[in-house]
Structure 1
Amino acid sequence: MASVSPTSPVNADYIRLMFNKSSVVVKSVCVGVVFLYFISIFVDTDSFLNALSVTPGLIFPPGFHFWSLVTHQFVEIHIWFVIIDFAFVLLCGKLLEPIWGALEMLLFFVIVTAGSAICSSVVYVFLYLATFNVEYLFHTHLYGLSAYIVGVTVALKQSIGDHELPPLGLKLRVKDLPLIVVMVSIVMRLLGLVPGSHPCLIITGFMVSWVYLRFYQKLPNAEGRGDMADSFNFASFFPEVVRPPISLAANTVHSFLVKIKVCKKQIRKYDVGAPSSITINLPGTDPADAERRRKIALDALKERLSRVEEQTQWPSMDEASPASPATSTSSTVSKEKVSAETEIASNSSSTAPSATSPDQSVTMGT
C-alpha cells in the first residue's frame, strides 16, 4: 500500500488538471454520468432503467419515449463502467477536441449515441419478429457510453491511426483499437459479464461513427464532407487476410447506397496545374492529416531506396555499350572534326620550312 500512495495523488492531480482544462462539453458529459450513477444507487434499478434507458418496444410509436435518446447515454449502474466512460471522454477531449472543436465533438457525441440506440432498437425489433420473444422489446435496456467509446476509437484511427500503443508485449497501433473493443465486448458477453445490449451498442456505434466520419462529417479545413482516404475504408479495420472479401461486400453495399442516393459517389479531384507533381485531393481530407501521411510515405520510400542502393552494384561507366544512332552520328562528326584538324596541322607543318630564313637553313644543314 505504501508504494501506491505516492503515485495516486499524482494521478489524481493529472486527472483533475485534464478535467479543468477540458471544454464545457467534456465536463457536462462527465458530470452527467457521475450524477446519474449516484442517483441509481438510491433508487430501484428497474424503475431507473425503464425511465431513462432506451427500451426497444417503447422508443417507437405508440410508446415513443423519445427523451430516452438524450438520457440513456448518461446511465450507468456499475462503477467500473463509470471509470471507463470518464477516461474515454477525457481522452476524446484531449486528442480530438483540438482538431474538431467543441461543437463538432458535441455533434459527434449526439449522432453516435442516438444513432446506435435507434439501430440497436431496430435489431431487437427484428429479433422479436423472428422469435416472438417479448423480452427483446420490453425487457431489454440500452444505456451507457459503450457506443461512444468505440466511436472515439474510430475517430482516433482516422486522426492518429499510425501511432503505436504503449508497450504491452504486442505490436499494436491506434488503428487496431476499434476491432479490439468490439472483440472484447463479444468475449465479455460470452462470459456473462455484460448484458446482450452492450455488444449490440458497440457494434452499431462502430458502424454509425464510421459512416458519419466517412461520408458526412464537415471540418473547417477540409474540402467537402467525410474522409474518403483509402486508409479509412471499412476493410482497413480488419486484418489483411480477410480484407478482400470484406472490401468486396462493403463496395457492393456502397454502390447500392449510391444508387438509392443515401451516399454520394466518391469524387477525386486532380490538380494538374502544379509544375512539379500531380496533387490528388479527396473530399473531406484534412490538409494536416494528408501532410502527415505524405511524410510517412516519403520516409518509407527513402528507406526502401536506401536498401536498394546498398544491395545493387551499379555497372561501371567505362564499360562499352552499344551505341545508339544519335551516339554514332556524334562520334562520326567528332572523327571528321579531328581529321580536319589533323589535315590543317599537316599543311601548316609542310609550309613551315619555306617560311624560314636562309641563315636558319644553312645552320640546319651544317
Structure 2
Amino acid sequence: MPARLNIPPITRAVLITLVSQSFLSAVIRYRQWTEHANIVIPYLTLVPQLSIIYPWTFITATLVEGNVFTLGIAAATIYYGGRYLERAWSSRELAKFLALVALIPNLLTFLVLIIFFTLTRNESWTLTVISGTISLQSAFLVAFSQLVPAHTVTIFRGIFSLRVPRFPLLYLGVVAILSLTPLLGGASFWLALFGFLTSWTYLRFYKTVFPDLESSQSPSLRGDASETFAFAEFFPAPVKPFVAVFADQVFEVMVAMRLCTPFSQADMSAARGENLLQRGTPGSARAEAERRRAIALRALDQRLHAANASNSAGRSSSQPPTQDSGPSTETQGSQAKTQTATTSKPGPMLGETKFEPDHDDDGGKH
C-alpha cells in the first residue's frame, strides 16, 4: 500500500479549497464561453467594479487559479511550503499568516486598480480580475528567507547558485515579465509585490516569537530583529546601502504613525541568539531539547564508565592475580570503551539543520 500523505490540517484545508474553487471557476467559464466574451466571475474572483457586493472575495479570490499550469504550481507551493511552515510555526500561526497575505495584497491591489481607473478613466482597470496564489508564493519565499537565511540553492550541477533571501526579488522579476503574457493577469505583479511587503512587515515586526524555555524572556516578544532579515538583505550588495537608508526612513515614518515600535537592546540580543530561538525551523525547540538531553546523557555515561573503571582498577590492585579463563582487564576495558561509544552516540535528531550563529555586532537594520 502506498504511504499515507501526512498533510497538516491548515495546509490540507487550503489545498482542498484551492482545487475546489479553481475547478468550479473552470466549469463556469467553460459553460459561459464564447469566442468574443471576456468572462468574469465576481463572486469567486475579485473584480473591482463588480465584487464590492461579495466581500468574501477579498480572501477567497487568492485560492482561485485560472489555468492548469498555474494551478499545478500553486498546489505544489501550498503542499510543500504550507506543510513546512505549519510544522515550523503551528497551525494557528500559519492560518493567521495566510489570512494576512491573502487579504492585504488583494485589498491594496484593488485600491491600485481603482487609482489607475481614476487617473485614466479606462474601464478595463476596474474589470481586471484579481485572483491566484501569487501573493502566497511571494510570502512563502519571504518566510523561507527568515527561517533559512544562510542556505544556498544550487542547480544545474553548480552552474547556478543563489542564496534563499535572493529568491523573493527574483520571483518579482519573473512575475513582472509573465504578467505581460496571457499566462498571468495584469494584477499579478501588484499581488506579488504586496505579498512580499506584507509578509516581511508582519514577520519583521509583529509575529510572535517563541521563547527559549530556559530563558526569563517574556513570551509576548514579537518580530525578528536579526541582521539577516533586514529589508536590505533581499537586494544585491551594490544597492544594499541605498535600500537600507530608504528602509530606515520608512521605518521612522511607521514609528511616528505608531504602526510599529523600535527594537530594544534586548530584542537585538535575542536576535543574535542570546535568549531566544528566533528562527524556528520545523521542530527547532524539540531539536534543541533533544540536543541538550543527548549531551547530558553522554556526560552521565562517561562519568559512570569512569567510575566503573576506577572501581575495577582498585579491586585489581588489592586482590592477588588468579588464574582465570575469562577476558583480561584490557579486554574488558576495550569492551567498555566500545560499549561507551555505542551507547553514548545519540540517535537522529529532530530538525537536522546546521545552525551558524551570526557574528554581526552592528545595529539593527530595517
Aligned length: 272
State yes or no: 1:141 paired with 2:129: yes
In the TM superposition, what is the alpha-carbon distance from 1:73 to its structure 2 partner? 1.4
Tell me how large the CA RMSD over aligned residues is: 2.8
Alignment of 1:17-32 (within 5 A): 17=4, 20-32=5-17
Equivalent in the alignment of 1:175: 165
In the TM superposition, what is the alpha-carbon distance from 1:48 to its structure 2 partner? 5.4
Maintained 8 Å contact 1:267/1:283: no
In the TM superposition, what is the alpha-carbon distance from 1:233 to its structure 2 partner? 1.3
Stretch moving more, 242-251 or 39-48: 39-48
Maintained 8 Å contact 1:225/1:283: no
Equivalent in the alignment of 1:122: 111
CA–CA distance in structure 1, aligned partners of residues 270 and 278 of structure 2:
13
Change in Cα spacing, 1:37 to 1:193, as seen in structure 2 (3 Å) is: closer
CA–CA distance in structure 1, aligned partners of residues 245 and 15 of structure 2:
40
Change in Cα spacing, 1:58 to 1:40, as seen in structure 2 (3 Å) is: closer
Query: Which residue of 68, 78, 81 maps to 2:70?
Result: 81
Change in Cα spacing, 1:118 to 1:293, as seen in structure 2 (3 Å) is: farther
- Determine helix, strand or coil for the equivalent of 2:203: helix
Equivalent in the alignment of 1:253: 250
Alignment of 1:224-235 (within 5 A): 224-235=221-232
Query: Which residue of 121, 134, 141 maps to 1:132?
Result: 121
Maintained 8 Å contact 2:98/2:136: yes
5+ residue gaps in structure 1? Answer: 1-12, 271-278, 301-366
Query: Which residue of 227, 237, 242 maps to 2:234?
Result: 237
Maintained 8 Å contact 1:55/1:141: yes
Change in Cα spacing, 1:75 to 1:47, as seen in structure 2 (3 Å) is: same
Report the residue type matching 1:287 in the other structure: L
CA–CA distance in structure 2, aligned partners of residues 244 and 262 of structure 1:
24
Higher helix share: 1
In the TM superposition, what is the alpha-carbon distance from 1:50 to its structure 2 partner? 1.7
Equivalent in the alignment of 2:143: 155
Q: Which has the higher contact order (CA 8 A, sep 6+)?
A: 2
Please list the CA deviations of residues 108-165 of structure 1 after superposition, one character each: whole Å capped at 9, or x if unmatched.
Answer: 111001111011111112212221222212x111111110011000000000121121
* TM-score normalized with structure 2 length: 0.68
CA–CA distance in structure 2, aligned partners of residues 94 and 25 of structure 1:
9
In the TM superposition, what is the alpha-carbon distance from 1:283 to its structure 2 partner? 10
Change in Cα spacing, 1:67 to 1:289, as seen in structure 2 (3 Å) is: closer
In the TM superposition, what is the alpha-carbon distance from 1:179 to its structure 2 partner? 1.0
CA–CA distance in structure 1, aligned partners of residues 259 and 77 of structure 2:
31
Change in Cα spacing, 1:253 to 1:64, as seen in structure 2 (3 Å) is: farther
CA–CA distance in structure 2, aligned partners of residues 87 and 286 of structure 1:
32
Change in Cα spacing, 1:245 to 1:65, as seen in structure 2 (3 Å) is: same
* TM-score normalized with structure 1 length: 0.68
**Larger Cα-atom Rg:** 1
In the TM superposition, what is the alpha-carbon distance from 1:93 to its structure 2 partner? 3.1
- Deviation >6 Å, runs of 4+: 290-294
